[in-house]
């Protein structure tokens, strides 16, 4: 959402995107549910999981040209109203960011299963590759909340009280300091 907000607000001087998604949200939700199905039952086919089957049907409705504001919320991912999905369906954060003449710091956790290096960071890299005012940083041990750890990231790994990776905070401070001089 940061590029969209910056495009609408001329006073924005730059963007810091932490775990910024580039894939459409409904597809990201499906990817996450599939991932969690494999974490919980590694040997099973995720497509056989009832939660994956449900979200797959719901995601198909978002891509359906017949989606309308009157589509019942309970048929859609997360129970979120159709108006929201219709709005997001036309939003391309990378394309919007590419139109902004602003410095950007894009940060990504390497262990993030919600916004991934492969599916999302690649979008930023490809779409903004020609920009010398875009800095991209990956923190290999960090999850979606920029908590360092090891092994597969899961929702349970967010539960204990933790601190954001100190390197992330330091890099933000340095970037802001360097872009405001």
> Which residue pairs from 49-54 have beta carbons closer than 8 angstroms and sit at least 24 positions apart in sequence?
none
Please list, in sequence order, all residues whose beta carbon lies within 8 angstroms of the beta carbon of residue 165, skipping any fewer than 6 positions away: 139, 141, 142, 146, 147, 148
CA 30, 33, 39, 42 dihedral sign is: negative
Q: Terminus-to-terminus CA distance in the chain, angstroms?
A: 26
- C-alpha dihedral, 108 to 100 to 2 to 112, nearest 10°: -10
Strand partners, 109: 139
pTM of the shown model: 0.91
Question: CB neighbours (10 Å) of residue 49?
Answer: 19
- What backbone torsions phi and psi does residue 108 show, to the nearest 5 degrees? -140, 135
181 residues of the chain, pLDDT tens digit each: 999 999 999 999 999 999 999 999 999 999 999 999 998 787 788 888 889 999 999 999 999 999 999 999 999 999 999 999 999 998 999 999 999 999 999 999 999 999 999 999 999 999 999 999 999 999 999 999 999 999 999 999 999 999 999 999 999 999 999 986 5
pLDDT recorded at residue 179:
87
What interhelical angle do 25-40 and 82-89 show, nearest 10?
A: 110
Structural domain boundaries of the chain? 2-179
Question: What is the Cβ-side half-sphere exposure of residue 140, based on CA atoms within 13 angstroms?
Answer: 0
| Contact predicate 137/37, CB 8 Å | no
- Residue 102 three-state SS: coil
């Amino acid at each position: 959402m940061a590029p969209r907000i910056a495009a609408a607000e001329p006073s924005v001087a730059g963007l810091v995107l932490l775990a910024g998604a580039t894939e459409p949200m409904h597809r990201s939700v499906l990817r996450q549910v599939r991932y969690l199905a494999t974490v919980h039952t590694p040997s099973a086919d995720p497509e056989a999981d009832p939660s994956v089957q449900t979200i797959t049907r719901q995601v198909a409705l978002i891509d359906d040209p017949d989606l309308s504001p009157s589509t019942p919320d309970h048929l859609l991912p997360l129970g979120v109203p159709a108006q929201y999905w219709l709005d997001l369906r036309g939003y391309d954060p990378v394309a919007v960011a590419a139109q902004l003449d602003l410095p950007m710091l894009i940060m990504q956790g390497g262990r993030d299963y919600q916004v991934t290096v492969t599916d999302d960071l690649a979008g930023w890299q490809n779409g903004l590759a020609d920009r010398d005012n875009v800095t991209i940083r990956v923190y290999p041990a960090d999850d979606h909340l920029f908590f360092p750890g090891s092994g597969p990231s899961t929702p349970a790994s967010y539960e204990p009280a933790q601190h954001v990776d100190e390197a992330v905070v330091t890099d933000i401070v340095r970037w802001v300091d360097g872009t405001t001089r």
